Each structure stands twice: as C-alpha cells, then as structure tokens.
C-alpha cells in the first residue's frame, strides 16, 4: 500500500538500529496502548496480571517506578498517584464507605485533615482526631464502625513520633486497618511493614523526586485484597501518575542514599546549633531528646531526614516570627520539602484543634544540600531580626 506523506506522519516505515543499552528507563508516555486483536480488547486495570490495556493504569515507566518503590518498602504491590495528597484520597475512597469511622492523628498533614472534615464527612464517613502520642491508649477510641487508623510519623510541623507497634496491635485486635504516611522517612528510614502496618503511602514529591520539580505519590500494600480495592478505585477515579514525573522519580531514586545522608548530617548539625540558641525553646527533631517520641524514633527508625521544627520562647509576635523567616536569605519560603533547597515556613498552629500550645511561635525547616555552615550563618543573622 502506498501512503501519502500525511499518512506517513502517523504510520512510518522508518527504521532505527535496535539494542540501545541505556542506563535510564525510557519515558513511555501514552493513553492508548495497542491490543493484538479485537477480541483481546479489555479495560482491566491490573496490568501486572493482564498486560498493558490503557495508559491510565501505568506505562512501563510508571510500572518500573512502582516496582522499585515496592521493593524498597518490602511491599507486594505499589500503586502510583499524581501526588501524595492524591494517594491519601485514593486510600480513603477505596477503603471507606458511608457509616464508617476513622481515626486520624491531630498532627496529620493538614489537607489530610481537610479531606476528612470537609469532604468525606459529606459522604457519611466520620473522623475523630487523636493525640499522636496516644500509643496503645488508642484502643479506647476504636468504635465498632472504625475501619481505618491513620498514622503519620513524625507528624507534620509538630513532629511527634508515633508508637506504631502499639497502635497496630490495638487496631488489629479490633480488625481495623492501619495506614501510615511514611513520607518523612522516604520509605527507607522506617521499615513500616515489619511493624505490620497494612498500607503505606508516600509523597514521592519529596525525597524520592528530590528536586522540587514533580508531584507524585505511592501506595504500597502486602495484602492482595487491599490491592484489588485500591486498584479498582484508582481506575474509576482516574488519577493517573505522569510518566514524565515517574521518569524523574526513577532518576531521583539513584541518588537518594547520598542525598539523604548529606541532608541528615546537615540537619542534625543545624538542629543541635539551634538548640543552643537563647531564642529557641524547643527543637522538634526526632533525633533530639526534645522531640516528643524521640525514644520511639531511636527504637524504630534507621536514621533521620531533613525536616524539623523550632519553637521560639514566648515573646515574639507573629510579625516578629515572620520577620525572622523573611530575613533568611538562603532558606526560601515555600511549601513542600525534600528537595535540594532549604525552606522555612512559619505556622500558627493555635488554630488547629488538639495541637500543643506553640501557637505562632513554630517554624518548620527543610534542610537542603547547601553548605551547613552557610545555613547556620543565615539562621544566625535572621535570629537577630527576631528582636525579642
């Protein structure tokens, strides 16, 4: 069949040499995947079982990243989502239904709280927020219709390390599933499945991506039934991860160990320096005794990453805390973390129910890959602006 040049634009006979031995996983983009015959067309989401059916369920680039994250977390199945918050939503939508109840730590990532109070509540799912340091005391909060207990360790901003084994034991005694937001540990500094957690999720946006330029999430499970529910829900919700972002995350994985090691030692040095400052009441870094749950961190974690908070002694107004943050030159002001750039955000947690009385005196830092001494000098000059 002769083809017009217009047809050749779509159906080309051009050939290239085969066998390119790249070290990088190719970036396969795609919505349509080609079926071998009319009879083989199927809209089945589990591409590990049936082969490729549709880009929504993952191209080979997505599946490669999913398999790598799964291997690192010692799971059985990993599903990727277009962001960490999408992973949180997918878990809740897949595993809860009207009439169910869940328990969420008061220290949880704020959009996770908002999902529960503003959206899931409209669909008949009720939520109670618990003290992240509750440990086995969580038993008394479990109700007959409790289906899910969320953990996030350490907690967002206030950094409480949770007693996962105690919470899991209490939950499983009542047939309740436990989900862990394991983003802070990058899925490698805390081996969640050895603590019998049922579902882990990560914002790959943070340390796996590592360069503040992607949005990606992962959900990992060991249980086949949970995987089926999550996969089926992802299909109908339609939240696909971008293959380009997966490709960047695959690249990020290769340098994760050295980035984490450098970030850990810099963050520790800075946290210790901040502990010695007269303006600072508390350094909430899990590897420091001043952090709630420090003993649990020592027991359960293999190391620390680079996000921690400082609480100023009573005195500065919110404007003075803002002045401190604004005076920082190397630390940029911005959400998200886990990249190479140091960040600082001031919070007023007085507005969040059940939070410690730090009010507007808390600042969260993300330590990046700049020289530690320069970051300390930056903090030192900005502390002068606190003007207490």
Taking the least distance from each CB to ligand PLP, the nearer of 296 and 386 is 296
Nearest residue (CB) to ligand PLP, 91 versus 328: 91
Question: Which residue number, 173 or 333, has a Cβ lying nearer to ligand PLP?
Answer: 333
Minimum distance, C-beta of residue 178 to ligand PLP, in the bound complex (Å):
16
Between 142 and 284, name the residue whose CB sits nearer to ligand PLP: 284
Residue 153 CB, nearest approach to ligand PLP (Å) = 10
Q: Minimum Å distance from CB 83 to ligand PLP?
A: 3
Q: Which residue is nearest to ligand PLP (CB)?
A: 84
What's the closest the beta carbon of residue 219 comes to ligand PLP, in angstroms?
Answer: 12
Whichever of 217 and 316 has its CB closer to ligand PLP, that residue is 217
Residue 80 C-beta: closest distance to ligand PLP, Å: 11
Q: In the 3-class helix/strand/coil scheme, how is the chain assigned residue by residue?
A: CCCCHHHHHHCCCCCCCCCCCCCCCCCCCCCECCCCCHHHCCCCCCHHHHCCCEHHHCCHHHHHHHHHHHHHCCCCEEEEECCHHHHHHHHHHHHCCCCCEEEEECCCCHHHHHHHHHHHHHHCCEEEEECCCCHHHHHHHCCCCEEEEEEECCCCCCCCCCCHHHHHHHHHHCCCEEEEECCCCCCCCECHHHHCCCEEEEECCCCCCCCCCCCCEEEEECCHHHHHHHHHHHHHHCCCCCHHHHHHHHHHHHCHHHHHHHHHHHHHHHHHHHHCCCCEEEEECCCCCCCCCHHHHHHHECCCCCEEEEEECCCCCHHHHHHHHHHCCCCECCCCCCCCCCEEEEECHHHCCCCCCCHHHEEEEECCCCCHHHHHHHHHHHHHHHCC
Q: Please report, as ranges, the residues that interact with ligand PLP according to CB under 6 A.
A: 83-85, 109, 152, 156, 181, 183, 203, 205, 215, 217, 336
Q: How far is the CB of 84 from ligand PLP (least distance, A)?
A: 2
Closer Cβ to ligand PLP, 191 or 316, answer by number = 191
């Amino acid at each position: 069949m002769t083809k017009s040049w217009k047809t050749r634009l779509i159906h080309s006979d051009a050939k290239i040499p085969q066998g390119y031995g790249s070290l990088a996983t190719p970036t396969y983009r795609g919505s349509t995947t080609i079926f071998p015959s009319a009879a083989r067309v199927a809209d089945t989401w589990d591409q590990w079982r049936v082969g490729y059916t549709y880009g929504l369920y993952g191209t080979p680039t997505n599946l490669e990243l999913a398999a790598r994250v799964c291997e690192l977390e010692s799971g059985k199945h990993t599903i990727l989502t277009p962001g960490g918050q999408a992973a949180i939503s997918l878990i809740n939508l897949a595993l809860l239904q009207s009439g169910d109840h869940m328990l969420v730590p008061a220290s949880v990532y704020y959009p996770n709280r908002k999902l529960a109070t503003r959206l899931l509540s409209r669909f008949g799912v009720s939520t109670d927020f618990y003290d992240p340091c509750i440990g086995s005391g969580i038993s008394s909060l479990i109700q007959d219709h409790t289906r899910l207990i969320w953990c996030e360790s350490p907690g967002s901003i206030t950094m409480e390390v949770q007693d996962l084994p105690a919470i899991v034991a209490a939950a499983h005694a009542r047939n309740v599933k436990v989900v862990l937001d394991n983003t802070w540990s990058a899925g490698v500094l805390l081996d969640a499945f050895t603590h019998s957690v049922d579902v882990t999720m990560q914002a790959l946006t943070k340390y796996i991506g590592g360069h503040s330029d992607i949005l990606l999430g992962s959900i990992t499970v060991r249980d086949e039934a949970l995987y089926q529910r999550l996969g089926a829900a992802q299909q109908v919700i339609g939240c696909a991860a971008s293959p380009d972002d997966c490709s960047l995350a695959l690249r990020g994985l290769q340098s994760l160990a050295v980035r984490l090691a450098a970030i850990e030692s810099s963050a520790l040095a800075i946290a210790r320096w901040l502990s010695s400052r007269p303006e600072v009441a508390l350094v909430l870094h899990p590897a420091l005794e001043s952090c709630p749950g420090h003993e649990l961190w020592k027991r359960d974690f293999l190391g620390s990453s680079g996000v921690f908070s400082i609480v100023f002694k009573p005195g500065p107004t919110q404007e003075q805390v803002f002045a401190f943050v604004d005076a920082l030159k190397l630390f940029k002001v911005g959400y998200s973390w886990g990249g190479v750039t140091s960040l600082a955000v001031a919070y007023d947690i007085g507005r969040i129910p059940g939070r410690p009385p730090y009010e507007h005196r808390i600042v969260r830092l993300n330590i990046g890959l700049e020289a530690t001494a320069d970051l300390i000098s930056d903090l030192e000059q900005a502390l002068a602006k606190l003007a207490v």
